[in-house]
Amino acid sequence: MGTVYAALTDGGERVAVKVIHPVQAGDPEFRARFRREVRLSARVQGPFLLPLLAADPDADAPWLATAYAPGPTLAQHLAAHGPLTEGTLYAFATGTAQALSAIHGAGVVHRDVKPQNVLLTPAGPRVLDFGIAHAADGTSVTRTGVLTGTPGWISPEHYHSGVIAAEGDLFAWGALVAYAATGRLPFGTGAPEAVAYRVTSGRPDLDGIPEALKEVLERTLSKEPADRPDAAEAADACARLLAAKSTQVLNDHTAAEANDPTLIGELVTTQWSVPAPEDLAWPQFATTPERSSRRRAAVAVLITAAVVGASAGGALAFRHDERHATSSSETAASTAASGAHDSGTASGRTASAVPGTKVTSQAATDPRTVPVPAAPLAGVAAPAFTRADDETQPVPGEWSASRNADGTAEQDAAAAIRDQVTAMLTTKDMSFMTPTVTFNRQAQTVMVTGGPISTLTDDYKEVFRRASEMAACVTLAHRLKDTPTNWPYGRFSVYWKDYDGQDEATILGFGKATDGCYTEEAGRRQGTDEGIVTAEIPSSDKDEIRIAAGTVKAITAAWNTRVAEGYGLEPFDRDDAITLGFDPVEGMMYVWAQDGSGALAGRAQQSHFQDVVAKTACPKLLAEYNTNKRWNYTRWTIAAYQGNSAWPQLFSSGDCLPTESHP
């Protein structure tokens, strides 16, 4: 979303200031969501929360300031000191439940309760991050169409139907307290789909948790939302357990009021015991007199020792109106990265080129014309990579046993993967997620690892996963094709480190380069749900921004003309219904429409829209392709958000280049 700065008020009070990225700030829709985030955060108050102190969502660079609290996240504390025990465990459970009670009491659902969003301060736990807060009336701060949350901390009903409610926060809270008590994730680790299956169908691992607390957690981890207690009930139950641990003798009247926030705060403080964090003094600077009074009232100075923040969902990529964004970075796409965006097969392709559109012949050395082998070991009698038919998933220990590149071949492969990942991430202003590439010869697997980066949300990790899988797949496919009897690596795994010194990183994804690197049907590259999610993240590449702005305007005008020509078509119910964005991972442009009135409900209407998009967008894409060697976008996918659906319907994919121009 932007950058979080350490800051001081005029009175010397420490605060944290979130300043929104200029690309986000230039989007009116994002500003509206940020304005709502400020309103939601302002109405949530409680002893175990970080209060909003000031904000200016209408400033040129929108910002908000919250209280600063020193201390590690729960995940960091467990890594350094192990599980919470005795009174500290009950104090943690009580304080976090009381925080959720305050959030829900304000009519807000947190919907991202997890260890990275709880700080262990000297004064007790603090629940933070309302960047994806959701009002209980059903209106969301973030964009729709994306599963929000972290695998293992998402409720069963959210997996099943996308339901977001206070009961889901309680499910995540139960998992959070279980994790604090044991140091184990209650639904295990592994691929997201495996964790999702355990959440929806399996039993949580609660071994070793004190029986009285386990009873509370079993209720909150019920698969049925109606069977869970609310946050106030959970706080009350935990406060009673905490009181029993306290040396303070409570009479019946006091115990009956154990859900009083003031009393809970006293109980937590009495029993709370965590190592004090190192808390260095912050430098003092004089306030600049010229600053506006509104900004000076909240922050006297910003100290740029910042943590790079993460998008809490991201604004929709481009609108044909009110889009005046400028680039903050320029893609440094390498030759290898250009190759990463090409065809996954050398077979024929059904073309969707616009008749009469001239395609300039590309030089033989143009990396965009080099095919990525779909079956690199076809016909090889004795390849060095012997696990092509092995469907076994990565097992614990493979990552920790991997090592840095050894020899020229591995070093070159590692550099190619890093360059490709960085080139893709740069277009989304995510180049700070620098990958590490290691090798496990025994497993014949290349590992791509990201992190640790604090406060990073999961939509960023998902883009990192996709970019890393694609870069590794493309690089390994070429290696297997070129030197099949010498190159032993054909599998790849993508991991994320939550902290330095982690024994086993969290696996994000895996695959084999022998299975092909792209989603295709009948030789044609297809768009994916993952691709449109990435495309919806705003671009920071100046060429993408320029092409998108003009293309959206042209498509909108062409569609309105087609409607007026009398084909029985209906106009969209909003002027800015058409949007587009780019997915650098698969080199795909996505065009989608917010279709609340059903203008694209039938196949005939969709066919007309496809024709308009192809005839309007392809000349622009091909003109850029012929003059800009970094430009890899000639393929497109069309989608629509029908009615009130939160998920897009992808109904057509195509390629502006004729068949003979693509490998």
In a domain, 549, yes or no: yes
**Which helix (H) or strand (E) is 494 found in, with range?**
strand 491-496
In a domain, 338, yes or no: no
pLDDT band at 463 (very low <50, low <70, confident <90, very high): very high
Average pLDDT over residues 226-235: 93
In a domain, 524, yes or no: no
38 and 178 together in one domain: no
173 and 239 together in one domain: yes
How confident is the model at residue 38, as a pLDDT?
A: 82
% of the chain beyond a pLDDT of 90: 39
596 forms beta bridges with none
458 and 539 together in one domain: no
How confident is the model at residue 404, as a pLDDT?
A: 96
103 and 168 together in one domain: yes
Structure tokens belonging to residue 241: 């357990």
> Angle of helix 603-627 relative to helix 542-564, nearest 10 degrees?
140
In a domain, 487, yes or no: yes
Mean pLDDT of the chain: 79
Average pLDDT over residues 433-449: 96
CA–CA separation, 109 and 140 (whole Å): 10
Comparing 582 with 647, which gets the higher pLDDT?
Answer: 582
387 and 509 together in one domain: yes
Does the pLDDT value for residue 171 go beyond 90?
A: yes
How confident is the model at residue 352, as a pLDDT?
A: 37
CA–CA separation, 432 and 422 (whole Å): 8
pLDDT band at 494 (very low <50, low <70, confident <90, very high): very high
Write down which residue in 487, 517, 547 finishes a domain.
Answer: 517
pLDDT band at 591 (very low <50, low <70, confident <90, very high): very high
| Host domain of residue 289 | 1-70+279-315
Residue pLDDT, tens place only, 6-35 = 888 887 888 989 888 777 788 787 788 788
How confident is the model at residue 46, as a pLDDT?
A: 81
18 forms beta bridges with 4, 64
How confident is the model at residue 576, as a pLDDT?
A: 87
SS3 of residue 17 by DSSP: strand
In a domain, 328, yes or no: no
Q: Note the pTM of the prediction, 2 decimals.
A: 0.52
CB 512 within 8 A of CB 491: yes
Instruction: Give the range with max mean pLDDT: 20-24, 36-40, 495-499, 510-514.
Output: 510-514
Q: What is the DSSP string of 651-663?
A: EEEEESS-GGG--
306 and 401 together in one domain: no
In a domain, 309, yes or no: yes
In a domain, 133, yes or no: yes
219 and 291 together in one domain: no
Write down which residue in 236, 271, 306 finishes a domain.
Answer: 271
Comparing 406 with 281, which gets the higher pLDDT?
Answer: 406
Phi, psi of 602 (to 5 degrees): -105, 165
The CATH number covering residue 148 comes to 1.10.510.10
382 and 443 together in one domain: yes
53 and 101 together in one domain: no
Structure tokens belonging to residue 483: 């030197």
221 and 102 together in one domain: yes
Phi-psi region at 24: left, alpha or beta (left = phi > 0; alpha = psi -120 to 50): alpha
Average pLDDT over residues 531-539: 90
Write down which residue in 485, 517, 549 finishes a domain.
Answer: 517
In a domain, 577, yes or no: yes
Contacts of residue 42, defined as CB under 8 A and 6 or more positions apart, other chains included, come to 52, 55
Of how many residues is the chain composed? 663
How confident is the model at residue 20, as a pLDDT?
A: 85
Average pLDDT over residues 395-415: 94
The CATH number covering residue 284 comes to 3.30.200.20
Comparing 231 with 33, which gets the higher pLDDT?
Answer: 231
Q: How many structural domains comprise the chain?
A: 4
Does the pLDDT value for residue 296 go beyond 70?
A: no
CB 113 within 8 A of CB 231: no
pLDDT band at 554 (very low <50, low <70, confident <90, very high): very high
391 and 510 together in one domain: yes
111 and 47 together in one domain: no
Residue pLDDT, tens place only, 323-361 = 333 333 333 333 333 333 333 333 333 333 343 344 444
Residue pLDDT, tens place only, 632-654 = 999 999 999 887 777 788 989 99
pLDDT band at 659 (very low <50, low <70, confident <90, very high): low
